[in-house]
Amino acid sequence: MIRILQDLTHFIGDYADQIEGAVNALAALDFALMCGKYADDMIAAEPILSERHRKTGNPVIKLKEARHPLIPQDKVVPIDAVLNEDTFAVVITGPNTGGKTVTLKTIGLLVLMAQSGLHIPVRSGSELSIFRNVYADIGDEQSLEQSLSTFSGHMTNIIRILRDANAKSLVLLDELGSGTDPQEGAALAKGILRYMIRKRVPCFVATHFPELKTFAHVTPGAINASMEFDLRSLQPTYRLSIGLPGRSNALLIAKRLGLADEILTYAGEEIDPADMKAEALLDEIHRQHDAARKARSHADRMRSLAEKDQRELREKLTSLELEKEKILAETYADTEAEIQELRQELSKLRKAYVGAHLSLQELKPLEDALKQSERSARTIETKARKEIHEKTGQLEDRPLKIGDKVIVRSLGSGSPAVVTALDNDRNEAEVQLGALRMRLPLRDLIRKGESVEIAPPETQPVTVTPAERQTQIFHESPGLELDLRGKSTEEMTDLLDRYLDDAMLSRMPYVRIIHGKGTGKLRQATRKFLLDSVYVKYIENGKDAEGGDGVTIAHLK
């Protein structure tokens, strides 16, 4: 038995390198799949890793709807944490149990997760710079009996942080200056903040000192932030508001907890009336801010619903228009076929009369009747079209001209084509649909009542002969779609920039950009480039049949 095991061990040992490589590959694959599953469970997004601001060299922190990864999703309150281009220190104030500490932990954890290659629980489009170090002094236990040892412990950590931190570090400090005399603690906190701002060290600081609110308001490089508080329910909302100082609301919280009214009255008498007025003004500012945010949220929802209804109505109207035009075209085609049959019969009769040496004058009544039938058919068609236009609110018929947007009935597509040339002698038009150019009979085109300028404004509907068409110059279309799958961000930027130039010169109304789904990095970079382009009016997701999230439709100006 031992010999068999030894032989097997020697046999396996000959493949040790291959086995070790396979195990390492399986471990890496398992880790990647686990990261993906974790991101899916958190409904996480890939952060955009950005360079620092070119002007100031400050890092970029733009976390949208950030959530603490360890708080259940049905309980966590998303926050927006932003470090502006000219800001180094964000001073967060607000009530106890209001979420200041959780905010600091959320920012620190998400930065470290992003730098570890993980997706983070934020809304798509969030940006972060790379930090060499993340330093934190966060006390988990808060007590009314703060001792010198507690203060000493905090100061030891802060001294070590200040010794090592630089402009490429991120510093998170909780309850800065606490644990000692309030006046000295506030002075010490302002000194530390002033030092970090001068050293250009980005930091988020939580505090209760009212002096730091004034400091952040008047000091360049610092900004106030607050944890919001609902004065009606006397409950924290846990939302972070950048730009507004917070209120401690200690008396209101004490009242909610059951402190006697008499004691609260005594406490209120000890507060400076000027401070009371400032707090009242701050309360009003917060109320107005809450009302504005709710109104903006409501307006966003209503706009989204209106845009959805508009899209659905436009699709229904287009479908109805196509159906009515189809019925009208079929009716007209049947009439044309009957007239053509009569014309053929009349031609046969004419030949027979000529062969029989009879007078053709006897056929004149038939020819007049045939012409009258043609006029009647066209009159009926014109009347029917006018009724359709009146009922659907569309423009009355007029002759097509160069630049008109039309729908090609035979293609059954709602995508508009543009008339690029007309041949009235043959009742034909040349149209461009994306990269495709076609010659089609006029009756196969439905005018949409819109035009694009591809001819001088004074140009009237014209007839283009074959010889003239050879001399007419069109900018070559780059095609309706651009496939960027598999491209790097740098390749995408170059390709998309040239493609948009060509699309604008070709006067295309919109383009379809294929970037795929994948990790979402290329999609985010592509959409950011499109939104920054001077050519793009707005963008939207592709429909399910077009590729969904893997495709972006860019409507051009």
Question: Is 205 part of any domain?
Answer: yes
Task: Indicate whether 169 and 265 sit together in one domain.
Answer: yes
- Long-range interactions of 497-504: CB distance < 8 A, separation 24+: 497/529, 500/533, 500/535, 500/536, 500/554, 500/556, 501/535, 502/475, 502/476, 502/477, 502/478, 503/477, 503/478, 503/535, 503/556, 504/535, 504/556
Q: What is the pLDDT of residue 463?
A: 41
Task: Indicate whether 420 and 465 sit together in one domain.
Answer: yes
Which CATH number do you get for residue 521? Answer: 3.30.1370.110
Task: Indicate whether 29 and 166 sit together in one domain.
Answer: no
Model confidence at 393, in pLDDT bands (50, 70, 90)? very low
Question: Is 289 part of any domain?
Answer: no
Question: Is 324 part of any domain?
Answer: no
Task: Indicate whether 195 and 261 sit together in one domain.
Answer: yes
Q: What is the pLDDT of residue 388?
A: 53
Two structure tokens written together for 507: 């006067």
Domain that holds residue 504: 481-556
Residue 30 CA to residue 25 CA, distance in Å, equals: 8
Question: Is 393 part of any domain?
Answer: no
What's the mean pLDDT in 2-30?
A: 89
What's the mean pLDDT in 290-303?
A: 73
Two structure tokens written together for 511: 């383009």
Task: Indicate whether 123 and 60 sit together in one domain.
Answer: yes
Task: Indicate whether 95 and 134 sit together in one domain.
Answer: yes
Task: Indicate whether 66 and 99 sit together in one domain.
Answer: yes
Cβ within 8 Å of residue 156, ≥6 positions away: none
Domain boundary among 440, 474, 508: 474
Task: Indicate whether 267 and 141 sit together in one domain.
Answer: yes
Task: Indicate whether 526 and 506 sit together in one domain.
Answer: yes
Over residues 27-42, the pLDDT tens digits come to 999 998 998 899 888 8
Task: Indicate whether 138 and 213 sit together in one domain.
Answer: yes
Over residues 332-380, the pLDDT tens digits come to 667 767 767 776 776 666 666 656 555 556 666 766 766 676 666 666 6
Over residues 482-500, the pLDDT tens digits come to 999 888 888 888 899 888 8
Residue 291 CA to residue 268 CA, distance in Å, equals: 28
Question: Is 308 part of any domain?
Answer: no
Q: Residue 474 pLDDT > 50, yes or no?
A: no
Q: Residue 449 pLDDT > 80, yes or no?
A: no
Question: What do you get for the CA distance between the two ends of the chain, in Å?
Answer: 81
Q: Residue 136 pLDDT > 90, yes or no?
A: yes
Task: Indicate whether 23 and 117 sit together in one domain.
Answer: no
Q: Residue 57 pLDDT > 60, yes or no?
A: yes
Domain boundary among 215, 249, 271: 271
What's the mean pLDDT in 241-254?
A: 72
Q: What is the pLDDT of residue 467?
A: 40
> Average per-residue pLDDT in the chain?
77
Task: Indicate whether 203 and 55 sit together in one domain.
Answer: yes
Model confidence at 204, in pLDDT bands (50, 70, 90)? very high
Which CATH number do you get for residue 172? Answer: 3.40.50.300
Model confidence at 161, in pLDDT bands (50, 70, 90)? very high
Highest mean pLDDT, choosing among 142-151, 293-302, 482-491: 482-491
Question: Is 384 part of any domain?
Answer: no
**Exposed / middle / buried, residue 119 (Cβ in 10 Å: 0-12, 13-18, 19+):** buried
Q: Residue 72 pLDDT > 70, yes or no?
A: yes
Q: Residue 162 pLDDT > 60, yes or no?
A: yes
Question: Is 532 part of any domain?
Answer: yes
Report the b/e string of 372-411 with b at 16+ CB within 10 A: eeeeebeeebeeebeebbeeeebeeeeebbbbbbbbbbee
Q: Residue 10 pLDDT > 80, yes or no?
A: yes
Q: What total number of domains does the chain contain? A: 4
Question: What is the separation of C-alpha 285 from the centre of its chain, rounded to a whole number of angstroms?
Answer: 30
Q: What is the pLDDT of residue 410?
A: 61
Question: Is 310 part of any domain?
Answer: no
